[in-house]
Structure 1
Amino acid sequence: MLKDEKAIVVFSGGQDSTTCLFWALQQFKEVEAVTFDYNQRHSLEIECAKNIANELGVKHHILDMSLLNQLAPNALTRSDIEVKEGEEGELPSTFVPGRNLLFLTFAGVLACQVGAKHLVTGVCETDFSGYPDCRDIFIKSLNVTLNLSMDDNFVIHTPLMWLNKAETWALADELDAFEFVREKTLTCYNGVISDGCGECPACVLRKRGLDDFLSGRF
């Protein structure tokens, strides 16, 4: 327990980051959340994050990251690019190059300003769709780089790193947040809150994990 410490949660309003927010609220004395606006496919994502932070009484920062949209055209930044999984070893069309690198770096700058030593992110190497910036080795490397760049001692926490989606649902349940996460988060690539559209890759992964959790297959 780090009840005397302060943390910044990288927060999108989705299943994973909301579970991490509940986790952080149990672990730390003070928690703030940061959401990045990169003109993502659905502005509803930012509204969803705002609403959740407000309901939980968490101070919420929204930072402009529109340059990322300009630099990295993909299915999350362009409505005319189809959402599809990677084929023959390629990354999914939803991969945003540099996203977690930039998000965690700017979260570190924010943490420096508000006196937080802990950064929390929902990246996961178990169900990571092949995204290279969700790997544990990347997080450890960036943690060292952040500390060297600002001559500080940040700790990046990844509560979901080795959990599959069923185990992530189980963690939400342990945190007494299962119904909240299920009903109020936005994971769907088509912008449908709660259980989503049921067809996009994010919804399929979320539902498979939910079904496994509810049936005890995890």
Structure 2
Amino acid sequence: MSQKKAVILVSGGLDSTTVLAIARSQGYACYTISFDYGQRHRAELLAASRTATLLGSVQHKVVTLDLRSIGGSALTDDSLAVPEEETAGIPVTYVPARNTVFLSIALGWAEVLGANDIFIGVNAVDFSGYPDCRPEYIQAYETMANLATRAGVEGQALRIQAPLMNMSKAEIVKLGLTLGIDYGTTVSCYQATEEGLACGVCDSCRLRRIGFEQAGIKDPTRYQSGA
């Protein structure tokens, strides 16, 4: 019997790397996909490739998109500053429709591969308030995926798996360590340097740092001088 396949969305950050390790631990042959969408923190692409290799991805694919052409986010428009303090509401680091775009391409690849499962590292506990990280969104997208694909119509049920959805960042860190992840190889910072050094002050850095503190684990993140 052939090994079951899954497509894993990986960004090189803490959450998606943990999801990849979870999928691997569940016996999936993991096909990883990242997106070069014009993000200012391009160091994450190198981190994604690195962690995919370390965690045994069967194939790692980088898809190029130009989300800078529509802008609307501090991650795709250099005229918008990345907030360095916690902000109310949906922050300017939200990239319009990003997870919908990413999941749609991952869905297409899953059909080509004959994979019934797509894993994504969204979280609704310790997160920045993005609307496309909520359980309602994931459930709705899964329904759409099964309506919109040949695989779904022909009875090959497609599942969007978000195993971190209800976990705190500290719980994610602890789980990842049991799965053998070296979080020092990951990059979460929204404005990391080309070498992957984190700023230590953006929302993503703040959530990551708090996660290690609450887990009682030494933070392996490589920070910029003075961060």
**TM-score, scaled to structure 2:** 0.85
Q: Percent identity?
A: 37
Q: Indicate whether 1:158 and 2:159 are aligned.
A: no
1:169 and 1:210 in contact (8 A); partners too: yes
Equivalent of 2:210 in 192, 195, 208: 208
Q: Closer, same or farther in 2 for the Cα pair 1:174/1:69, shift >3 Å? A: same
1:118 and 1:154 in contact (8 A); partners too: yes
User: Which portions of structure 1, spanning 4 or more consecutive aligned residues, are displaced by more than 6 angstroms?
Assistant: none
CA separation in 1, counterparts of 2:9 and 2:102? 7
2:36 and 2:65 in contact (8 A); partners too: yes
Aligned-partner SS, 1:211: helix
Aligned-partner SS, 1:20: helix
User: What displacement does 1:88 show?
Assistant: 4.6
User: What displacement does 1:160 show?
Assistant: 0.6
Where does residue 28 of structure 1 map in the other structure?
Answer: 27
CA separation in 1, counterparts of 2:88 and 2:171? 28
Q: Indicate whether 1:191 and 2:167 are aligned.
A: no
RMSD over equivalenced CA pairs, Å: 1.9
CA displacement, residues 85-139 of structure 1 (integer Å, 9 cap, x when unaligned) = 67453x1110001001111111000100111110000001112211100000000
1:36 and 1:103 in contact (8 A); partners too: yes
| Higher deviation after alignment, 185-194 or 104-113 | 185-194
Q: Closer, same or farther in 2 for the Cα pair 1:39/1:21, shift >3 Å? A: same
CA separation in 1, counterparts of 2:16 and 2:88? 29
2:44 and 2:196 in contact (8 A); partners too: no
1:7 and 1:28 in contact (8 A); partners too: no
Amino acid at match of 1:203: C
* Structure 1: runs of 5+ lacking an equivalent: none
Paired positions, count: 208
CA separation in 1, counterparts of 2:196 and 2:86? 25
